[in-house]
């Protein structure tokens, strides 16, 4: 018998079997789906819908009761979960997985990263013994207070025999578990989509290498409540190296800019373009990095440079197109601005020429830097999300200014001015 009273008040939709299904296909108004007796691969549920970041698929409840003849006989309380989605958590929710079952052979967690259908599969349940809910994993990014509420409510359910975890799509597993440990929940956290290094930390176990890491983390018992001073110290220590490196990069860029006095004087209006062109580099190639990082986490792109990969090619081509288009636009708009204000300015072809040449050259360089950094970082187990930003801001400034200088010299040599 289950230790908790489970009753299904209302099943909004049912799906059986192992075929991938989309919530849309089932015509559900609600954002969740009840899967009984059989695991719909969560993988497939998500992967089918390329818009899942904007329209998360919702809740998957996966039940597997060992020793129960007819799963239909077992009632499962989905009120808690339905309540979560109703409260708007569903807006950001990729899925909820509840699994219950007996100990698999060996008493070890069965967690197979290859088939995401195994998400929430029976987990070590030594102290519970019977078919207590083995794990509850919320996959998704609940926002703020809502999540806090979830934590409280899940805690109220006293799932201490099993495990509780929250895993964002790209959230580090240890971060994801923090609110639960803070709330005093014990047990084991289970997740997919967390980052590999995070999964390895704290004795975590990883299977299904690379593409879709699975994780098992022992939850620490002492809730890490941090004071102002601790928070400040941690944030300072974490950020100092990154900010210091980018300061050095910025200084290099500054030195190049300082050496551009004569070009700046000969092409009036060039200085006006500096912030816009630098910001474009950061925005365009920063977003390329973020896009590739997300795709790596989701397994949409393989971490190797393959020009035959359509997604990689599209992302790179779009970034280059954006970079060049926006550079040209900045030069044109800057020219119009200066002319409109009656300020001193170089000719339109000169400004546009410098912007386009700099845009193309810096675009090629930054694409190579971003792709290599993100891919190599990912292969070494670094989180590409945190890697891409600082690398782009640092190299973007240096490469951006250096290519502007080169482009300005080229255009001046060709007779612009």
Partner 1 sequence: MARWTVRGIVADMLPVLLALTLVELGSGLVLDTFESTLLRYPSLLVLVPVTIGMAGNLGSIMASRLSTATHLGLLAFEPTDDTLAGNALATVGLAATLFPLVGAAAWGVQALLGGAALSLAAVVAVATASGLALAALAVLVSVIATYAAYRLGADPDDVVLPVVTNTCDVLGVLVLFAVVRLAV
Q: How far is the CB of 209 from partner 1 (least distance, A)?
A: 23
Angstrom distance (rounded) from CA 217 to CA 172: 11
Q: How far is the CB of 219 from partner 1 (least distance, A)?
A: 14
Binding mask 31-60 for partner 1 (x = CB under 8 A): ------------------xxxxxx------
Q: How far is the CB of 105 from partner 1 (least distance, A)?
A: 35
Question: Which one, 66 or 314, has the nearer CB to partner 1?
Answer: 314
Stretch that binds partner 1, among 5-13, 176-184, 210-218, 373-381 (CB under 8 A): 176-184
Is 274 among the residues that bind partner 1 (CB under 8 A)? Answer: yes
Is 162 among the residues that bind partner 1 (CB under 8 A)? Answer: no
Could you tell me how many residues of this chain bind partner 1 (CB under 8 A)? 101
Q: Residue 409 in contact with residue 353, Cβ under 8 Å? A: no
Buried b (16+ CB within 10 A) or exposed e, 44-59: bbbbbbeebeeebbbb
Stretch that binds partner 1, among 5-13, 60-68, 97-105, 241-249 (CB under 8 A): 241-249
Is 223 among the residues that bind partner 1 (CB under 8 A)? Answer: no
Binding mask 317-356 for partner 1 (x = CB under 8 A): xxx-xx--xx--xx--xx--xx--x-x-------------
Task: Kindly give the interhelix angle for 79-86 and 144-156, rounded to the nearest 10 degrees.
Answer: 170
Element (H, E) at 166: strand 163-167
Question: Judged by CB under 8 A, which of 269, 303, 359, 363 binds partner 1?
Answer: 269
DSSP, collapsed to helix, strand or coil, labels residue 263 as helix
Distant-in-sequence, close-in-space partners of 391: CB < 8 Å, separation ≥ 6: 289, 369, 370, 373
Is 229 among the residues that bind partner 1 (CB under 8 A)? Answer: yes
Angstrom distance (rounded) from CA 396 to CA 228: 34
Question: Which one, 98 or 267, has the nearer CB to partner 1?
Answer: 267
Q: How far is the CB of 176 from partner 1 (least distance, A)?
A: 7
Q: Residue 321 in contact with residue 288, Cβ under 8 Å? A: no
Is 5 among the residues that bind partner 1 (CB under 8 A)? Answer: no
Binding positions for partner 1, 299-318, rule CB under 8 A: 300, 310-311, 314-315, 317-318
Question: Judged by CB under 8 A, which of 117, 122, 390, 416 binds partner 1?
Answer: 390
Partners of 232 in beta bridges: none
In angstroms, the Cα distances linking 253 to 173, 288, 397 are 37, 22, 6
Distant-in-sequence, close-in-space partners of 348: CB < 8 Å, separation ≥ 6: 331, 332, 335
Is 171 among the residues that bind partner 1 (CB under 8 A)? Answer: yes
Binding positions for partner 1, 244-263, rule CB under 8 A: 244, 246-247, 249-251, 253-255, 257-259, 261
For 36, list phi and psi in degrees, rounded to 5: -115, 145
Angstrom distance (rounded) from CA 390 to CA 386: 7
Question: Which one, 2 or 271, has the nearer CB to partner 1?
Answer: 271
Q: Are strands 59-62 and 32-36 parallel, antiparallel or unpaired?
A: parallel
Binding positions for partner 1, 84-103, rule CB under 8 A: 88, 91-92
């Amino acid at each position: 018998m289950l230790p908790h009273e489970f009753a299904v008040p209302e099943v909004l939709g049912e799906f059986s079997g192992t075929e991938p299904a989309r919530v849309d296909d089932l015509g559900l108004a609600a954002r969740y789906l009840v899967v009984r007796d059989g695991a719909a691969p969560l993988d497939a549920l998500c992967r089918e819908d390329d818009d899942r970041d904007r329209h998360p698929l919702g809740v998957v409840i996966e039940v597997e009761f060992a020793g129960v003849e007819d799963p239909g006989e077992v009632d499962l309380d989905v009120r808690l979960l339905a309540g979560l989605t109703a409260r708007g958590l569903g807006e950001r929710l990729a899925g909820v997985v509840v699994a219950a079952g007996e100990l698999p052979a060996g008493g070890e967690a069965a967690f197979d990263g290859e088939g995401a259908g195994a998400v929430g599969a029976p987990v070590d349940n030594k102290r519970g013994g019977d078919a207590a809910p083995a794990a509850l994993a919320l996959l998704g990014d609940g926002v703020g207070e809502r999540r806090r509420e979830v934590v409280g409510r899940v805690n109220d359910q006293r799932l201490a025999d099993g495990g509780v975890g929250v895993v964002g799509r790209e959230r580090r597993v240890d971060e994801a578990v923090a609110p639960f440990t803070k709330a005093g929940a014990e047990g084991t956290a289970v997740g997919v989509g967390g980052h590999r290094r995070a999964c390895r930390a704290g004795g975590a176990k990883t299977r299904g290498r690379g593409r879709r890491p699975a994780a098992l983390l022992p939850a620490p018992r002492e809730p890490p409540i941090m004071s102002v001073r601790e928070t400040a110290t941690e944030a300072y220590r974490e950020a100092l190296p990154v900010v210091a490196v980018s300061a050095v990069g910025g200084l290099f860029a500054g030195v190049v800019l300082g050496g551009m006095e004569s070009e700046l004087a000969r092409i009036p209006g060039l200085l006006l373009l500096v912030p816009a062109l630098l910001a474009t580099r950061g925005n365009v190639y920063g977003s390329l990095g973020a896009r590739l990082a997300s795709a790596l986490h989701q397994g949409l792109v393989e971490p190797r440079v393959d020009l035959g990969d359509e997604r990689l090619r599209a992302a790179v081509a779009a970034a280059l197109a954006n970079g060049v288009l926006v550079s040209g636009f900045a030069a044109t708009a800057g020219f119009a601005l200066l002319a409109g204000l009656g300020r001193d300015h170089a000719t339109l072809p000169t400004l546009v020429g410098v912007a386009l040449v700099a845009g193309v050259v810096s675009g090629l360089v930054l694409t190579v830097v971003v792709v290599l950094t993100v891919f190599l970082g990912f292969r070494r187990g670094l989180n590409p999300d945190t890697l891409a930003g600082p690398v782009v801001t640092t190299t973007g400034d240096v490469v951006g200014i250096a290519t502007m200088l080169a482009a300005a010299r080229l255009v001046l040599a060709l007779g612009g001015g």
